[in-house]
Amino acid sequence: MTQTRKRAVFTFLIWGVAMAAFSVIFFYGAGPERYALEKWRRLAGAVIIACGYLFYGLMLFLTRIRPGDHAVGRDERDEEIRNRANASAFILVLVYVFALSIILWEKFQGSGFVPVGWMWFLAYSTSFAAFISSSVIALILEFKASGHGQG
Amino acid sequence: MAKAEIRNKIRRYRFDAGEMTQEELANRAGCTRQTIILMEQSRYVPSLALAFRIAGVFKAGIEDIFEYVGEEHEV
C-alpha cells in the first residue's frame, strides 16, 4: 500500500472518530445552546480535538518514508493525487463554512443572536471537514487511478 | 485540444528483461508498484522524467517504449 493511500485511510479513521465523538458531546443533553456554558463539555471537546491532532501526528510519523525502505513508498502520482485532493478539499471547506454560516444566520436571525456554542462547532467541524474531505478525495482519486497526465 | 493517448510497451520490455517483476522495475525507476500496474493497464500516463527513467532501466530509447497515439494536435 502506498504512503498516500495509507495516510488517507488513517486520516479518515482518526478524524471520523473524532468528529463522531465531538458530535455526541456537542448535541448531548441540553444541546448546542448550552455547550459554551457547561465546562465539562467544552473540556471534552478540547480533549477530543487534541487527541485527534496527537494521533494524526503519530500516524504521520509512523507512516513516514524511511531511508532504508525496500519499496518506493511515494511517487509523482501520489504527489499529484495529494495536490488535487488538497485543492478540492480547500474549496469544499470554503463551501462548508459559508453554508453553515448562512444556515445559522437563517436559523437565528429572528432572535438576533447566535448561541456561542455554535461558534465552537464551526471551529471544530472546519478541522474535521478539511481532514475528512481531503482524505476521501485522495482515496477516490486513487481508486479512479487518477493523477499526472490523466484527462 | 485534441484527445491523445500515450501507449507503452512496458509489459513486453519486462518480459524481455527476464520477466523482471513490477516491483523491481518500480524500485529501479523510482516509482511505486501501483504506478507500474496502472501504466501497464494504460490507466496512467507518466511524467517525462519517469518515462525517461523507465526507458533507462531497459536501456532503451523513450520512443521505443512509449508511443504517442492521437489525432493531429492543435496549438
Tens digits of residue pLDDT in A91-150 = 999 999 999 999 999 999 998 888 899 999 999 999 999 999 999 999 999 887 654 444
- What pLDDT is stored for residue B72 in this prediction? 58
Strands, E, within chain A: which ranges?
Answer: none
Mean pLDDT of all residues in A62-70: 82
Domain with A124 in it: 3-145
List, for residues A16-42, the tens digit of each pLDDT value: 999 999 999 999 877 888 888 889 999
Task: Give the pLDDT band (50/70/90) at residue A151.
Answer: very low
The mean pLDDT value for B55-69 works out to: 93
- CA distances, B66 to each of A41, A117, B31, B34, B35 (Å): 60, 59, 17, 18, 15
Compute the nearest-CA separation of B5 from chain A (Å).
10
Structural domains present in chain B: 5-66 (1.10.260.40)
Closest partner residue to B38 (CB to CB) among A74, A145, A151 is A145
CB contact under 8 A, A149 and B46: yes
Q: What is the pLDDT of residue A69?
A: 75
Half-sphere exposure of A148 (CA within 13 A, CB side): 16
Cα-based torsion angle of the residue sequence A99, A125, A56, A142 in order, rounded to the nearest 10 degrees: -30
| Total of domains in chain A | 1
Contact criterion met (CB below 8 Å) for B7 and B69: yes
- Residue A151 is assigned to a structural domain of this protein: no
Rounded to whole angstroms, the Cα distance separating A46 from B14 reads 54
- Dihedrals phi, psi of B4, to nearest 5 degrees: -130, 165
pTM above 0.90, yes or no: no
